[in-house]
Amino acid sequence: MHPTWDIFCTVVDNYGDIGVTWRLARQLHAEHALPVRLWIDDLHAFARLCPAADPEADQQWQQGVDIRRWSAQWPPVTPAEVVIGAFGCRLPPDYLQALTQRPTPALWLNLEYLSAEDWVQGCHGLPSPQPNGLRTVFFFPGFTHGTGGLLREQGLIQRCTAWQGDGDARQAFLARLGVHADPAARLISLFAYENDQLGAWLQALVEGSPPTHVLVPEGRILGDLNAWLGDTLTVGDVRTVGALTLQVLPFVSQDDYDSLLWCCDFNAVRGEDSFVRAQWAGRPLLWHIYVQEENAHWEKLEAFLRTYRHGLSDPAAQALTDTWRAWNMDRDMAQAWRAMQPHWGELQAHALEWRARQAAQPDLATALVQFYRNWL
């Protein structure tokens, strides 16, 4: 008998939490044949990522995963043998009470946010006793041995490489989204939070070379884009200014978003889920990290840059660092972007080398399954 798994997810204000937990749930089922229940407090957010889902259903099956509504009225259920509370969410009191009454203890894991900070390795796998007699264990995704690794499905890199080498598949996918880019244009995806430096970056693209076609999935950055353009673009609209073409895309499923990242030459991403998927795309990227009070997120940004830049020449590493800091710290994005262009080829090669290094480590789902087996 395979152990049962419960994963709890609260949707805060974006799609990162549900994006990570949905990917994890379906990988645990598809690759490890595990029965998984995914408890979600906002099924409307889930339905954006999984269009087949019914946002009004209390219970449904999607891709082999038992999707449950996490409502204020908690239903009586038997707790699973492995319980994952994602990103510090508080489990329902009735569920915790039921956990204390299990005849055999469950493994309760607190899946933490992704970070490259040095302290993560020391905290990964540490237990935390609870007042009710239960014990939770901290489980940290990460980029180094001694962490839980990154979400990566079996064969992901091979599928991406094959896709990127198939010009017909790429063009057919883009055409389905209404994208008909100039073959000479550099294709960029832009998925970001609100950002005061967007206008400076777009102006640099207007005046730059080669021509650029920026694909913008509908989202929070659209307001800043329209303010700079002095227009009101909606899904399907295309505008060209100088060397820059802007196009607004619909919000797409997770699988289609992966394909979009694979199609592009450069990916601007935000949060956690799209950040990891852009790394698997093997293309240069720009991360818009989720803003925290007192700029605490800057430490996470700098920690990743210290890790990611390893292997780059000093000039390329500095240009990359300056661009990420400009985007996240409200510095001159136009100047930083222009200074990065001479290093484009090196950054392309480095993105592939980084992907290969990360793919050589165990993936997060496998690490979780192995941790449970070792715990027994």
Rounded Cα distance between 28 and 332, Å, is 43
Question: Helices 254-263 and 167-176 sit at what angle, rounded to 10 degrees?
Answer: 120
Decide: 86 and 8 in contact? Cβ < 8 Å. Answer: yes
List Cβ neighbours of 373 (8 Å cut-off, separation of 6 or more): none
- In the DSSP assignment, the letter for residue 343 is G
Residues recognised as catalytic: 17, 272
Q: Up-side HSE of residue 259: CA atoms within 13 Å toward CB? A: 17
End-to-end CA distance of the chain: 14
Decide: 139 and 110 in contact? Cβ < 8 Å. Answer: yes
Decide: 331 and 339 in contact? Cβ < 8 Å. Answer: no
Does the N-terminal peptide bond of residue 210 adopt cis geometry, omega within 30 degrees of 0? yes
Only one residue has tokens 């607190």, namely 110
Chain-centroid distance, C-alpha 64: 22
Rounded Cα distance between 321 and 318, Å, is 5
Token digits for 182?
A: 């100039």
Rounded Cα distance between 267 and 285, Å, is 5
Query: Other C-beta atoms within 10 Å of 198: how many?
Result: 20
